[in-house]
Amino acid sequence: MMNQEEKNYKLFTQNSDGGITERESTQEELGRIFFHEGNREWDNVHMALPDPVWERIYENGYLLYEGYTVDHKAFGAGRSFYRDGMVHLEGIFGLKGLLCGREYYSNGMIRFEGLFRLNQAYGPNYPEYGIWYDRNGRMLFRGKIKVIRSSLGWPRVHEPEGFGSVPDTVLRNGHMIMWEDARRLISAASDDRIVRE
């Protein structure tokens, strides 16, 4: 049986042009990247996954997501789709949705590209820094996004004005890694490591 140190990992990083690169890595290399003083390579690393699986997730005959998953839930590089097959979100998915990438209007034009903040409260992850476009592709705003919470706690973009509420994703809780999933997966990995030792 392969031990934890020999396991391959998929390392997802963001390029200077905003694109996502994935490559194989080992636990030893990850340790050097994340813990070596003076090494700033980790600034662009968004996640490292053990044993990622590439799959397509369907619901009622419609493709919802294709990309890397953990426990059959979007986690890693991937794309989610509107019911008509147009791309809705693409980039790196993590807890509660997209962490880095693009959100599209239903007409196929980019709505927002940039970084999303991991939402530790009610609602999906929300835009934090990037570029907002109108439905015709004209840039409306570039920079840091300011978010407030609605009366129900759902994130709403305060600045730039006109961005509006953070839209719900086509992926539901059953298709995204949520906090309870993360706790369960971390607990299972810890139990697995104890059994091997």
Residue 60, helix vs strand vs coil = coil
Neighbour order of strands in the sheet with 20-26? 20-26, 8-14, 45-50
Task: Please list the residues that pair with 121 across neighbouring strands.
Answer: none
For residues 114 and 123, is the Cβ–Cβ distance under 8 A? no
Cα 24–Cα 100–Cα 45 angle in degrees, nearest 5: 40
pTM for the model stands at 0.69
Cα 115 to Cα 102: distance, rounded to the nearest angstrom = 9
Q: What end-to-end distance do the CA atoms of the chain give, in Å?
A: 12
* Cβ contact 185:179 at 8 Å: no
Pairing state of beta strands 20-26 and 8-14?
antiparallel
Per-residue pLDDT of the chain (197 residues; tens, 9 = 90+): 344 445 566 666 666 665 666 777 776 666 555 554 444 444 445 455 556 788 998 988 999 999 988 888 888 889 999 989 999 999 988 778 888 899 999 999 999 999 888 777 777 788 889 999 999 999 999 999 998 877 677 788 889 988 877 766 666 656 776 666 666 665 665 554 444 44
Beta bridge partners of 98: 93
Spatial separation of the C-alpha atoms in residues 145 and 129, rounded to whole Å: 6
